[in-house]
Structure formats: structure tokens, C-alpha cells
Structure 1
Amino acid sequence: MKLILTADVPNLGAPGDIVEVKDGYGRNYLLPRQFAIVATRGAEKQVEQIRRAQKARQIRDLGHAQEVAGSLKELSVTVKAKAAGDSGRLFGSVTSAQIVDAVRAAGGPALDRHAVEIGEQIKSVGTHPVKVRLHPEVTADLQVAVVAA
């Protein structure tokens, strides 16, 4: 199956890349999650537009990524969870979008929510480690404090 990637997919490619994948992987994983679109003649004309949009959001280069990683380490990021039980257990979980919003509110850079990698779901109040993939060679570690609102 021939697809055009619309998002960065680890070990496959970057947005705008035209890739050949097995039918099941494309149909069951990439297409439902909107990581890719089917490569047709009309869609291939959109490749340049996809690449331009991604470049606008992307970290410029390795040096810039290292600079952003340094600024992220200095940030104090706090996420306010809507509700928590008596034991500090959240009724839901903290999402990558909430983390991106909290980084922005703390004075940090605008991040893509897909760059935030949460190891295990954050379902309790406290401090949790989160990784942010800024560049293929640069990953920043971030400590996120979760408090009950």
C-alpha cells in the first residue's frame, strides 16, 4: 500500500514522505490515526503543502533543538487535574495535550503534542517524568507536577 505520511512516524518517515507499507499496517494503524493518507495523484500534489506546514511547526535544526531542551529542563510545569480521589488517584489520566498547554502556560516553547512521550499513563497526583522528542537526535526530559484542582 502506498501512503503519504502526514505526521512523523518513528522508524518509517517524516511528514510528506511517500512510503510503501503492508496493507494491514496502513489500513489498521496509519490511516485510522491520521498519520497518513492514501497516495493518489491528487494527494501527491499536496505533499509540498504538508511539508511546508510541518516545517513551520518543526524545530529548525539540532542547535535549536538543544537550546529548547535546555529551556525545558529549567521549567516548572504543573498540570491541574479536574478531579482526584482521596488517595490521590485521578479519575482520568493526564494527556499529552494537557502537558503541552501546561508547558506553554509556564512560559515554555510551543510544542507538538505528538512529540510528548508519556511512558506510563499519568493517573495519580505527584511528579512524573515525561520525555519530549524535539529532534531525531535530541530528547528532553521534563518533570511534570500533577495537582488536584
Structure 2
Amino acid sequence: MKLILTADVPNLGAPGDIVEVKDGYGRNYLLPRQFAIVATRGAEKQVEQIRRAQKARQIRDLGHAKEVAGQLGNLSVSVTAKAAGDSGRLFGSVTAAQIAEAVKKAGGPVLDRHAIEIGEQIKTVGTHAVSVRLHPEVTSEVQVAVVAS
């Protein structure tokens, strides 16, 4: 199946790339999550628009990614979540979107929630390390303090 990526997909490609994938992967994962569109003649004309839109949102280059990584290292980010009693467990878990919003509120750069990689679900109160993929060569770590409401 021939697809045009609309989002950055790890180990596959960047937005605007035309890729060939197995039918099931494209039909069951990439298309429903809107990570890709089917490559038709009309869609191939939109490739340049997709690339321009992504470049406007994306970190410009390696130097800019390192600068943003420095900003993230100096931030103190806290997320307020509803706790489930004295044990410190949360109702639900902290999401990447909540972390991206907390970074923005703390005065940091605007991050794409897809760039935030939460290793293990955050389901307890306390400080947790979260990695942010800023550039294919630059990954930064952010300490997120989860506070009970």
C-alpha cells in the first residue's frame, strides 16, 4: 500500500514522505490515526503543502533543537491530577497532552504531544522523568512533578 505520511512516524518517515507499507499496517494503524493518506495523483500534489506546514510547526534545525533542549532542562513542570486517596495513586494517568500544556504554562516552548514519550504510565503522585524527541538527533528529558488536587 502506497501512503503519504502526514505526521512523523518513528522508524518509518517524516511528514510528506511517500512510503510503501503492508496493507494491514496502513489500513489498521496509519490511516485511522490520520498519520497518513492514500497516495493518489491528487494527494501527491499536496505533498509540498504537507511539508511546508510541518516545517512551520517543526523545530528548524539541529541548533534550534539543542537550544530548545536547554530551555526544557531548566523548566520546573508540574501537573495537577485527581488523586485516589492517601496512597498517592491517581484516577487515570497523566497524558502527553497534559504534559505539553504544563510545559507551555511553565514558560517553555510549545511541544507537539506526539513528540513526548512517556516510558511507563504516570499513575502516582511525585516526580517523573519524561523524554521529548525534538529532532531525530536530539532528545531532551523533562522532570514532571505530579501534584494531587
Per the shorter chain, which TM-score range? over 0.9
Q: Deviations over 1:70-103 (max 9, x none)?
A: 1101000000113433211111111100000000
Give the equivalent residue in structure 2 for 1:146: 146
Give the equivalent residue in structure 2 for 1:16: 16
Q: Specify the code of the residue in structure 1 equivalent to 2:88.
A: G
Give the equivalent residue in structure 1 for 2:84: 84
Give the equivalent residue in structure 1 for 2:115: 115
TM-score (norm 1): 0.97
Matched positions, count = 149
1:127·1:144 contact (CA, 8 Å) conserved in 2?
Answer: yes
Percent sequence identity is 87
**Secondary structure in 1 matching 2:42:** helix
1:4·1:18 contact (CA, 8 Å) conserved in 2?
Answer: yes
Give matches, 1:51-130, under 5 Å.
51-130=51-130
Q: Show structure 1 runs of 4+ deviating over 3 A.
A: none
What is the RMSD computed on CA atoms of the aligned residues?
A: 0.9
Q: Deviations over 1:86-135 (max 9, x none)?
A: 21111111110000000000000011111000001111111001000000
The unaligned stretches of length 5 or more in structure 1 are none
Q: Deviations over 1:22-80 (max 9, x none)?
A: 11111111111111111112211221111111001100110110011011010000001
The unaligned stretches of length 5 or more in structure 2 are none
In structure 1, C-alpha distance between the alignment counterparts of 2:144 and 2:107, rounded to whole Å: 14
